[in-house]
Amino acid sequence: MKLDSGNTAWMLAATALVLLMTPGLAFFYGGMVRSKNVLAMLMQNFVCMGIVSVLWVIDLFSLAFGPDKLHGFIGDPATHVGLKTGTDLFVSGVPTAVIATFQITFAIITAALITGATADRLRFGPFVLFVSVWSIIVYAPIAHWVWGGGWLAQFGSIKDATTGAITKLGVEDFAGGTVVHINAGIAGLALTLVLGKRIGWPKERMRPHNVPYVMLGAGLLWFGWLGFNAGSELAADSTAGIALVNSVVATAAAMLTWLIVEKIRDGHSTSLGAASGLVAGLVAITPASGYVTPMGAIWIGAAAGVVCALAVAIKFKFGFDDSLDVVAVHLIGGILGALSIGFFGQDAVNGLGRDGLFYGGGLGQLGRQFVGVGAVLAYSFVLTFIIAKLIDLAWGLRVSRDVELEGLDINLHAESAYDTGGSSSHATSTSTETAVSGEKVNA
C-alpha cells in the first residue's frame, strides 16, 4: 500500500467536520434545556471530547480496530497502544493516525449523544467516570463487531465446503446506525431508567430556553455530518459522493415530513420541529448512506421524519423521562435506518452492499440487519444499565433535590450562562480555591 494523498486529504478534512458535530450537538441540546442548566449540558458534551480522545489514543483504537480476539468480540489491545508512531498506513493509503483520529470523533459523539436523555439531573464527576467505563466496555466492542471486522461484520458469511472460498456477508452499517445511534439511544434509555424522572416531569412543562441555539446546533450537525457519512468511506471516491448526496436529500426529506406531521397534528410547523426532523433524517440515513440510491435516501428520510415525530409520544406513554428525545430520534431513527438497508440496499451502489428486499435480494440482508440491531440493543442496554447502576450505588449519579431545583450551572460549575441585567459581582478572593462558596460545591 502506498500513501494516497487524495484519500488522506479528504480524511483529514472529514475528521475536522465530524469533530465539530459535538459542539454542534452541545448547542442542539443546550438550547432545549432550561437556562439554569445550559452550561452543565454543554460541559457534559465538551468533556466527552476530553476523556474519549485521550482513552482512544491510549488503547481504545486497538480494542475497536485491532485484529479479532475472543471470536470477533473485541480487537487485540496490543495492536496500536498509544498509536505507536501512527505513520503506518491503515486502509486506502491513509495513515493510521488519520483513521484513528477520524474514529475518535465518532466515539466522542456517541457518548455525547447519551446526555440528551438525562438532561438537568446528572452529576458531572460520576458522568465523567461513566463515559470512561462506557467507552471501554460498550462502545469499543460494538465498534469492533461492526467496523473492526468483528462477529457482526462476518455474520452469515458462507464458506464453500469444497473450495473453502468465503462469500462475505454481514451486517451493513455504513457510518454508524448501530454503533453510534442505536447504541447511544438505548444507552440513554438505560441511563434515564437508572436516574429516574426530573422533579415535576411530566406535569411541569420544561420549555426549551433558546430555540435559536437548537437551530444553530442542528445546522452545525448537518454540516459536520457530511464528513461523518461521506468520510466513512475512508476514501475520496464515488461511494463517498453517494453518501454525500444521500446525507443531504434524506435530511431534507425528513425535515419536510416532520413539519408536515406537526402541521397536521398540532396546527403549526415549528422551528424545533425543523431542527429535530433534520437530525432524525441524518440519523436514519447514516447506516444506509453508502448502500442506497439518492431516491432510496429520500424515502428513508421521509419515513424517518414521520416515524420519529410520532415516536416522541412513547416517553409520555411509558412514563420515562428521556428529556430531549434521544430515544425517539436516535434509537428509533437508528433502527429505521439500519433496517432500511434490508429494503432499499442495492449492490450496484458501491459493489460491496447486498440487494435488499425491494431490489430482488430477498430477506437475507434484512435478516442480518435485524441481528445487528438486536445484538447492539441487548448488549448496550444491559451493560449500560449495569455500569450506571454500579456508579450510582458507589458514588451517586444524580444531583440532590436542591441542586436540581436551583440549577446545575451554579452548583456544579460555579458559573451562570447569562448575566441578566448586568448584576453586580466582585472578587471575593484572588485564589481560585476559595472563589467558590463551600456549600454550593456539594452537588
Partner 1 sequence: MKLITAVVKPFKLDDVKTALETFGVTGMTVSEASGYGRQRGHTEVYRGAEYEVDLVPKVRIEVLVDDDDVDDVVDVIVKSAQTGKIGDGKVWSVPVENVVRVRTGERGTSAL
Which of 322, 355 has the CB closer to partner 1?
322
Give the residue from 189, 183, 305, 197 showing the smallest Cα distance to 252: 305
Contacts of partner 1 in 320-359 (CB under 8 A): 325
The reply on whether position 71 binds partner 1 by CB under 8 A is no
Binding test (CB under 8 A) with partner 1, winner from 3, 78, 313, 382:
313
- Asked if residue 44 lies in contact with residue 130, where contact means CB atoms within 8 angstroms, the answer is no
Work out the widest C-alpha separation in the chain, in whole angstroms.
83
Q: Is 138 in the site for partner 1 (CB under 8 A)?
A: no
**Binding of residue 208 to partner 1 (CB under 8 A):** yes
**Which residue's CB is nearer to partner 1, number 59 or number 120?**
120
Minimal distance, residue 328 CB to partner 1, in Å: 8
Query: Cα 245 to chain center, whole Å?
Result: 21
Please choose, out of 174-182, 184-192, 204-212, 219-227, the segment that lies near partner 1 by the rule CB under 8 A.
204-212
For residues 226 and 240, the answer to whether their CB atoms sit within 8 Å is no
Closest CB 265 distance from partner 1, rounded Å: 6
Among the listed residues 259, 309, 375, 403, the single contact to partner 1 using CB under 8 A: 309
DSSP per-residue letters across 297-310: HHHHHHHHHHHHHH
Q: Considering the complex, state which of residue 2 and residue 205 has its C-beta at the smaller distance from partner 1.
A: 205
- Which lies closer to partner 1 via its Cβ, residue 137 or residue 314? 314
Residue of 205, 317, 401, 426 interacting with partner 1 (CB under 8 A): 205
Q: Which stretch binds partner 1 (CB under 8 A): 2-10, 121-129, 202-210, 398-406?
A: 202-210
Q: Does 418 bind partner 1 (CB under 8 A)?
A: no
| Nearest-5° Cα angle at 193, 407 to 124 | 40
The conformational region for residue 86 under phi > 0 = left, psi -120 to 50 = alpha, else beta, is left
Cα separation, 337 vs 358, whole angstroms: 15
Residues 298-327 as b or e (16 or more Cβ within 10 Å = b)? bbbbbbbbbbbbebbebbeeeebbbbbbbb
Under the binding rule (CB under 8 A), the answer on residue 120 touching partner 1 is no
- Binding-site residue total for partner 1 (CB under 8 A)? 17
Kindly tell me which residue out of 223, 316, 318, 418 binds partner 1, with binding defined by CB under 8 A: 316
In whole angstroms, the minimum distance from the beta carbon of 41 to partner 1 comes to 16
List Cα–Cα distances, 160 to 142, 163, 364, in angstroms: 28, 6, 18
Residue 2 makes contact with partner 1 by CB under 8 A: no
Phi, psi of 205 (to 5 degrees): -85, 130
Quote the CA–CA distance of 160 and 183 in Å, as a whole number: 34
Nearer to partner 1, 173 or 325 (CB): 325
- Pick between residue 129 and residue 272 the one whose CB is nearest to partner 1: 272
The helix or strand, by DSSP H or E, that contains position 168, with its residue range, turns out to be none
Stretch that binds partner 1, among 81-89, 278-286, 310-318, 352-360 (CB under 8 A): 310-318
In the shown chain, the binding pattern of residues 258 to 277 toward partner 1, with x for contact by CB under 8 A and - for none, equals ----x--xxxx-x-xx--x-
Residue 432: exposure state from Cβ atoms within 10 A (0-12, 13-18, ≥19): exposed
CB of 363 to partner 1, least distance (A): 34
- For partner 1, which stretch binds (CB under 8 A), given 12-20, 66-74, 150-158, 203-211? 203-211
CA distance 343 to 314: 25
**Please, what's the b/e burial string for 231-250 (b: 16 or more CB within 10 A of its CB; e: otherwise)?**
bbbbbbeebbebbbebbbbb
Kindly state the smallest distance separating residue 272's Cβ from partner 1, in Å.
Answer: 5
Contacts with partner 1, residue ranges (CB under 8 A): 205, 207-208, 262, 265-268, 270, 272-273, 276, 309, 312-313, 316, 325
